[in-house]
């Protein structure tokens, strides 16, 4: 009996193949290059002294055309095509991914938009045990933390809904504001759709209400210990670091259907007037330490 083992090509995650017709293109290249050099040689050896300005402009244009054409040949000399096979990568071999989200000002970047962006990223089709989300709030705003907290609650309903029905787009604000033709039909889907939409609208209403009064209602503050960080006024330019774990991965926190949730961490780095904060670069650097130190 003959045993056929898989070939190396069957195990590769991608293949690279060179395009055909390269020999003909090299002939074209030599002919074209000869034409350009001959034309420039003709211009240099036949200077139009009667019209020097016109001769100079024409020669300069033809020279620049030759330079740009020559520089483009690096992309055309040996074209290569790559074909990826992501289905060959076992789920157990998927690398862990840290997703970093940055915001700084709840007025310029409304908390509702931050929440929708976060929910869209959290519904990414990937192994949730290998996904971790870190949001950097450079302004240290309780309105942003409030929106992220509410998003972490709604995500427990939104993520299984996206996975179950493969909805697109996965930003809830966009999804519920458009009539998607790709959505499945049926009474069970419609009932669940209405239920999830009602939860989303309630979340949006709570975020907008907090933004209008510029404060978080006391009943919401009592739901999570992280709001105690704002028991005293937090100056966006002068405050201690704030790190709050809203969701823990590896099956510690689960969604409404009992599936594990990805990690979600809120970070507002320490800022002092005496130290330069380096803007977004500093915010991203500040996320490195939590992403390494927090147990996922």
What confidence category does residue 211 fall into, taking pLDDT thresholds of 50, 70 and 90?
very high
Q: Is 235 annotated as a binding residue?
A: no
Phi, psi of 115 (to 5 degrees): -65, -45
Mean residue pLDDT of the chain comes to: 87
pLDDT in tens, 92-117: 788 889 999 999 889 999 999 999 99
Which pTM was predicted? Answer: 0.72
Distance between CA atoms of 178 and 282, rounded to whole angstroms? Answer: 37
User: What does the DSSP 8-state code read for residue 294?
Assistant: S
Q: Is 109 annotated as a binding residue?
A: yes
pLDDT in tens, 116-156: 999 999 999 888 989 999 999 988 999 999 999 999 999 99
202 token code pair: 């309630």
Query: 17 by DSSP, 3-state: which?
Result: strand
Furthest-apart CA atoms within the chain: distance in Å: 89
Strands 131-137 and 242-247: unpaired
């Amino acid at each position: 009996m003959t045993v056929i083992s898989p070939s190396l090509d069957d195990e590769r995650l991608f293949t690279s193949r060179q395009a055909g017709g390269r020999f003909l293109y090299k002939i074209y290249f030599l002919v074209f290059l000869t034409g350009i050099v001959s034309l420039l040689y003709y211009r240099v050896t036949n200077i139009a002294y009667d019209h020097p300005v016109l001769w100079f402009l024409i020669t300069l244009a033809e020279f620049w055309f030759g330079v740009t054409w020559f520089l483009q040949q690096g992309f055309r000399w040996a074209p290569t095509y790559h074909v990826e096979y992501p289905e060959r990568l076992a789920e157990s071999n998927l690398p862990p991914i840290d997703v970093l989200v940055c915001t700084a000002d709840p007025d310029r970047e409304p908390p509702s938009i931050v929440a929708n962006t976060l929910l869209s990223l959290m519904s990414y089709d990937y192994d949730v045990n290998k996904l971790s989300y870190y949001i950097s709030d450079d302004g240290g705003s309780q309105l942003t933390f409030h929106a992220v907290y509410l998003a972490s609650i709604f995500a427990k309903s939104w993520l299984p809904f996206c996975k179950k029905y493969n909805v697109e787009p996965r930003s809830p604000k966009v999804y519920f504001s458009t009539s998607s033709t790709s959505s499945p039909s049926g009474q069970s889907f419609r009932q669940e759709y209405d239920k999830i939409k009602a939860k989303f609208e309630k979340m949006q209403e709570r975020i907008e209400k907090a933004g209008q009064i510029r404060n978080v209602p006391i009943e919401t503050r009592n739901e999570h210990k992280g709001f105690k960080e704002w028991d005293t006024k937090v100056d966006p330019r002068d405050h201690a670091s704030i790190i709050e774990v809203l969701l823990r991965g590896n099956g510690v926190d689960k969604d409404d259907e009992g599936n594990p949730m990805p990690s979600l961490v809120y970070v507002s780095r320490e800022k002092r007037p005496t130290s330069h904060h380096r803007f977004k670069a500093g915010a991203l650097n500040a996320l490195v330490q939590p992403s390494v130190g927090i147990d996922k």
